[in-house]
Amino acid sequence: MKALMLVAALIGAAGIVLLAGMVVGIVPSNTVRLIEGYMPVQVIAELTLFVAGFTGLSYMMAAMGMVFPRFWQGILFWAFILLYLKFRIYPPIPFSVRAMYGTVSLVAIFMWVSANEEDWNKFKQPIMNVLDAKTGGKRLLRYAYLVILPILIGGFSYNSMVPKSEEPIELRTVHPAPPASTKVHGKTYTLQTSQNPYRTNLEGKYDQDYSNAMTVEQGMGRLMKPNANPWDKDAQGYLKYVREGGEIFYQNCHFCHGDNLNGRGLHAFAFNPIPANFTDPGTIAQLQETFIFWRVSKGGIGLPNEGFPWASVMPPWEQHLTVDEIWKVVLFEYWHTGYYPRTWD
């Protein structure tokens, strides 16, 4: 048990040193790389390791007769979480989410330190000592708090109320609800029931299982499946349509949406927000193909009211592409990202 705790304590100490380096800027945030596609699990795994590490540190210190006060354990753990969120995770997390995470962490720490009477008494003891102020030092501290706390609260209030020159926060609806149907080149498409006419098997019938089996592998690299190369001269049916969609994509779309469909094209950073990243699981992977068909056809100008503030400069591609070309581009986007369009069956 002691050996296990020692290992945990070493991990905890190493973690603290690394994070401290990141906070002061000596150690770059990507020293221990966050790997694309695995980041979400990696972050939770790292936090778990830290908790194990801190448990080990606490255990070892107690074993050496240096009991770390519960009050400071709580305060420092909260500070650790805030610093981790701010300096470890990149790209930076917007303040609104960090505020949510910070509040939850604070509640969690309260639940931990007050889970039983003994712990709660230990935790609040330093606070009670200051309030009771039985020694000169504590009395001084109490007066200091009496002065500092109102100033701090006043400062926060002033800061939140003072008019700021920065742009206001936008609560942008990323996926506005689509209409029930859309009219493109004179034909009406019902979004709930329409299908991509090129998602077909070799017999020319709509077949999502067939096309799903031919999309690229997800994860790092996004590798093509064996015998599923759209750029093979002999490719027929679905793969041929993917190739045609790819050609249209690279002629028209990649300037903004990028070679890898990750929203980082040549012109991407001229826009705010930058174009949609199709490789993110929160975009096309969540939507029906008909939704993409509608958005591509109508562009930013065709966004509904709830798409406020209509922050999209995508052209209405129905003015430049045929219906067939739009369907083929949509087909290519799903193939390239390895995602499957949403269906309801």
Partner 1 sequence: MGRVAGKKLFSIMALCAMVGLLLLPIAVSLPSLAMGADAPDAVKKDGEAKVEKGRDVYYKTEGIAIGAPAPKTVDGPRDYPRYNFESRVLLWFANQQHLYYGSFVLAVPIFCMVIEFMGVVTKDKAMAKRYDQLAYDFIKISLTAYSLTAILGGILIFTFLTLYPAFFGYLSGIFRPVMHIYALMFVAESGTLYIYYYGWDKMKEGFLKWIHLSMSVILNVIGTLLMFLANSWIGFMMSPAGVDEQGRFLGNIWHVIHTALWNPLNVHRILGNMAFGGGVVAAYAAYKFLASKTDEDRAHYDWMGYIAMALGVAFLIPLPFAGYWLMREVYAYRQQMGITLMGGLLAWLFIIQATMIGILFLSTNYYLWQALGRMRGAEKYQRYIKYLVFVLCCGYLVFITPHTIVMTPAELKAMGGQQHPVLGNYGVMSAKNGGINVIITTTILSFVWYMRGNKVSTVSWSKFGNIFMGIFFGCAYVNIIWLAIYGYYIPANVRVGLSVPQVATTLSCLFFMFALNTAMMKGAKQMGAIEWGKISVRSQYALIMLATAFTWMMGLMGYIRSSVRLFWHVNEIMRDNSPWAYTHTVGFAANMISFNVLFFWVSILFVFWLGSLGLKKAPVEAKAGVPGAAPQPAGGH
Contacts of 97 (CB under 8 A, 6+ apart): none
How far is residue 20's CA from residue 11's CA, in Å, rounded to a whole number? 14
Nearer to partner 1, 38 or 156 (CB): 38
| Number of C-beta neighbours around residue 28 at 10 A | 10
Site stretch for partner 1 (CB under 8 A), options 114-122, 142-150, 195-203, 237-245: 114-122
- What is the contact mask toward partner 1 in residues 176 to 215, using x (rule: CB under 8 A)? xxxxx----------xx---------------x---x---
Which one of 20, 39, 79, 220 is in contact with partner 1 (CB under 8 A)? 39
Residue listed under structure tokens 């174009």:
275
Q: Is 93 in the site for partner 1 (CB under 8 A)?
A: yes
The pair of three-digit structure tokens given for residue 75, joined into one six-digit string: 């305060």
Q: Is 112 in the site for partner 1 (CB under 8 A)?
A: yes
What is the H or E stretch that residue 112 is in?
Answer: helix 95-113
- Shortest CB 314 distance to partner 1, Å: 13
Which one of 25, 65, 91, 186 is in contact with partner 1 (CB under 8 A)? 91
| Number of C-beta neighbours around residue 69 at 10 A | 12
Nearer to partner 1, 248 or 303 (CB): 303
Cα distances from 241 to residues 14, 70, 105, 153, in angstroms, run 53, 64, 50, 63
- Shortest CB 340 distance to partner 1, Å: 4
Task: Give me the amino acid identity at 269.
Answer: F
Site stretch for partner 1 (CB under 8 A), options 18-26, 39-47, 313-321, 325-333: 39-47
How far is residue 129's CA from residue 136's CA, in Å, rounded to a whole number? 11
Q: Is 218 in the site for partner 1 (CB under 8 A)?
A: yes
Question: 59: closest CA among 122, 120, 2?
Answer: 2
Nearer to partner 1, 176 or 315 (CB): 176
Site stretch for partner 1 (CB under 8 A), options 2-10, 16-24, 102-110, 235-243: 102-110
Which one of 175, 183, 185, 320 is in contact with partner 1 (CB under 8 A)? 175
Nearer to partner 1, 125 or 251 (CB): 125
Between residue 285 and residue 344, which ones bind partner 1 under the rule CB under 8 A? 285-286, 288, 291, 306, 340-344
Between residue 261 and residue 280, which ones bind partner 1 under the rule CB under 8 A? 263-264, 272-277, 280
How far is residue 140's CA from residue 120's CA, in Å, rounded to a whole number? 25
Nearer to partner 1, 212 or 252 (CB): 212
Site stretch for partner 1 (CB under 8 A), options 1-9, 145-153, 165-173, 315-323: 165-173
How far is residue 205's CA from residue 336's CA, in Å, rounded to a whole number? 22
The pair of three-digit structure tokens given for residue 166, joined into one six-digit string: 């920065």
In degrees and rounded to multiples of 5, residue 285 shows phi and psi of -65, -20
- Shortest CB 148 distance to partner 1, Å: 28
Based on the number of CB atoms within 10 Å of its own CB, is 223 exposed (0-12), middle (13-18) or buried (19 or more)?
exposed
